[in-house]
Structure 1
């Protein structure tokens, strides 16, 4: 695979251009980034992905694996295997500098200009806003506890204020955009790493390193739990089909291996460490309520710091989510500035969060829907990754920005049939294998083993290889 589009004549930008300075609101949205405004080094991506993955959700999922009936070391093995899917997130990040465009635009090569609007509306914007709302609710819960420790009663007005403040901090990062994210996420990574180091020391003092359940699953039941665990862990990296959003400012001559490596490593290491901490903790405390359970083994002085770290970690991941959701909304076809689209996404997420926390169990409904989201995001990731390999990561960013019927990425009626059909068949195949909210016929035949992840990805990728070669040859730069 070629590193990027070769351009020996392009001068490397040594100074961050005004359009992408940390203290200024990012000027670009889904438009093409000219060579003169490219800057940075692939290693900067490490802290972007590390800060976003030192978070509460990873801790919860790690603990859940032990609660599902796995031994400690089975859980750790599942965590490592599931997080290997970050390699695909790293691969997708290489397309950013190649095109000088975000993922939301690059995927026009896969689905066509019109087809990609549907992709961004569902697989981009809707999924991102749902994740934003759930993460915001998790951060708010930790913040409520922090407020209570300060002697303030967390009544309804206080809860509303807390949610709004957390959302405002998150959206401030997203609105200022790429430059601030690159600058801010290194100190955030260091701060969160320091906090979770203290958590690790406390957990290891109480953990049972030889833990095994009294009545462990066996045979088909064990395989069902192992596969479900890998799928649950893998849903994290697979949800980031937008990794090119954060690499697109890099010079087009940047090493593709370095881009993929720093992205994947930045996410893999903290995800494995924090999820494993959750698994170790589950051998000592009841992780059905992780936030309160961990306070039983943490030093009393550190509990407020721990709660603050949970909030900061969630802000880090949600700022990336809101940023990409804003770009997705633009790519759907709304002619609005990126700052406006980000604020709109935030307003929707805040409304969903407040409704779910204060009025109904709506967030449970959203959470249940996201349990089967791997049916969609697996094939989405597979088609995108396959396209990168087929065209050797050569994308014409300017041509991708053309939304007219004369665009080389218009295909037939604005839809690339090869990509659309591959995605639809991949999703349908995965849906037959699900065993979460419902049990598909394939899962039933296999005794409950949920193969939706591998089946959906393999079918979508294989079909795109068969159907997409002609379109790829016609539109490769």
Structure 2
């Protein structure tokens, strides 16, 4: 077996019935397979989610928006799904994980710090955020079935869901590609039935008792946009799911399949969540949308609905665990991908139990999603900006060159321009963030209008282009001289 980190074990075969032994190693041209349209289901399955109902209900029941105002915010935030689509095209271009590709942004050593925190620790938090939803619903269903010990129910559901999630991550890419198409179809049927039971409860003439206007309206819409925008901005792992595609796959098809797969379920089911403003009260939402939803569906359908929520959570977190399992390898820790996946799952399980026992779902979702923007908005923006500036031309072999003479060693292993851009972007995001716990001084100065997302993205993109323009132009010229003007050769 080769010790070359750019070469996968020779016995590796990407099939759904065997655990995936490949980590960050380059995908050889002979191993490339699949079609761009396969990515639609990969991104749809995780986003046919009960969290969409929760976030939609937040817009009307917590933030006080009218239904039509909420739908405008939902559609506007869904446009950001084009960003994970753009990130996805770097996977086939480089033939490796996004956690390796970002060496081009932060430098070989600088990337280790960014990925170690964002790609592993934050992944654990994100796992917990999604596991909490299914944990609450599973625990509530067990309570209704006669199991009164809430703590025990929460722990049991968390352990079962996390165990299956890690199993999905262990089998990896081929299983995800094959299973998620069927999962998407099943989840769509379940959630459409749920919507059918919701509709008779909806007050189509619903209006807020005290309609918002002026600064108050803009503040509510901006906060809602920030909460919803955190979902597409968090998916900087999309290159990992696309890296097996043939290099000649059209980037436009990859972008479309990824973006539409994520955006369409979010738009549809978050909009129905907003309609719940006319069906339930804010008090009903205090501990999560699962309680009123279970009351709206027949008793016989309740277990099916909960199972659908759990399957969705496994689909989402199976993908997240899979991609974050390559982080240790990308930062140089000698660990295989499979044990790394187990470690990430353990971290997420601990966070899940703590969150589920200490807070309500609605509080956990809203606060965590907004605060994650401080990291996700600038890092996603820097990634997309780098792809555009390089015209998506990455050399996989150059990315694995960690020597001082390598293309991405930069200054002592750090890209000052890349790191300054994301730190400044994170600071701008925090200054314009408006939450119950933290309100940035600039957000407060403009009437608590949360401009965290546009502020963070604009600052990051502008600084990245200004600080890195000359260097990337020179690297582009070197690449063209070596490889021609096509996409990067892995």
Q: Residue 115 of structure 1: CA displacement?
A: 0.7
Are residues 144 and 365 of structure 1, via their aligned partners in 2, closer, same or farther at CA, if it must alter by over 3 Å? closer
SS in 1 for 2:333: coil
1:45 counterpart = 2:39: yes
Q: Which residue number corresponds to residue 56 of structure 2?
A: 62
More displaced stretch, 416-425 vs 466-475? 466-475
Are residues 459 and 355 of structure 1, via their aligned partners in 2, closer, same or farther at CA, if it must alter by over 3 Å? closer
Q: Which residue number corresponds to residue 413 of structure 1?
A: 412
Q: Residue 38 of structure 1: CA displacement?
A: 0.6
Q: Residue 381 of structure 1: CA displacement?
A: 1.1
Q: Residue 151 of structure 1: CA displacement?
A: 4.0
Are residues 398 and 184 of structure 1, via their aligned partners in 2, closer, same or farther at CA, if it must alter by over 3 Å? same
Q: Which residue number corresponds to residue 84 of structure 2?
A: 89
CA contact (8 A) 2:73 2:225 kept: yes
Q: Residue 158 of structure 1: CA displacement?
A: 4.8
Give distance in 1, aligned partners of 2:165 and 2:469.
41
Are residues 146 and 42 of structure 1, via their aligned partners in 2, closer, same or farther at CA, if it must alter by over 3 Å? same
Give distance in 2, aligned partners of 1:187 and 1:369.
30
Are residues 454 and 404 of structure 1, via their aligned partners in 2, closer, same or farther at CA, if it must alter by over 3 Å? same
Give distance in 1, aligned partners of 2:151 and 2:465.
54
Aligned residues: 460
SS in 2 for 1:23: coil
Q: Residue 330 of structure 1: CA displacement?
A: 2.3
**What is the aligned-residue RMSD (CA, Å)?**
1.9
Q: Residue 140 of structure 1: CA displacement?
A: 1.5
1:465 counterpart = 2:465: yes
CA contact (8 A) 2:44 2:184 kept: yes
Q: Which residue number corresponds to residue 194 of structure 1?
A: 189
Give distance in 2, aligned partners of 1:259 and 1:83.
17
CA contact (8 A) 1:173 1:319 kept: yes
Give distance in 2, aligned partners of 1:155 and 1:434.
35
> What TM-score results when the alignment is normalised by the length of structure 2?
0.90
Q: Which residue number corresponds to residue 428 of structure 1?
A: 427
Q: How does 1:53-132 map to 2 (within 5 A)?
A: 53-67=47-61, 68-132=63-127
More displaced stretch, 137-146 vs 219-228? 137-146
Q: Residue 41 of structure 1: CA displacement?
A: 0.2
> What TM-score results when the alignment is normalised by the length of structure 1?
0.92
Q: Residue 30 of structure 1: CA displacement?
A: 1.2
Give distance in 1, aligned partners of 2:298 and 2:353.
32
Q: 1:192-248 deviations in whole A, cap 9, x for unaligned? A: 000011011112222123322010111011001111111111100000011101000
Q: Which residue number corresponds to residue 244 of structure 2?
A: 249
More displaced stretch, 342-351 vs 399-408? 399-408
Q: How does 1:209-358 map to 2 (within 5 A)?
A: 209-286=204-281, 287-288=285-286, 289-358=288-357
Q: Which residue number corresponds to residue 451 of structure 2?
A: 451
Q: Which residue number corresponds to residue 8 of structure 1?
A: none
Q: Residue 368 of structure 1: CA displacement?
A: 3.9
CA contact (8 A) 1:144 1:159 kept: yes
SS in 2 for 1:448: coil
Give distance in 2, aligned partners of 1:207 and 1:367.
24
SS in 2 for 1:31: coil
Give distance in 2, aligned partners of 1:153 and 1:435.
38
Give distance in 2, aligned partners of 1:77 and 1:181.
32
Q: Residue 310 of structure 1: CA displacement?
A: 1.1
Q: Residue 369 of structure 1: CA displacement?
A: 5.0
Structure 1 unaligned regions, length at least 5: 1-16
Q: Which residue number corresponds to residue 474 of structure 1?
A: 474
Q: 1:399-454 deviations in whole A, cap 9, x for unaligned? A: 11222223211111101111111111111222221211322221121011111110
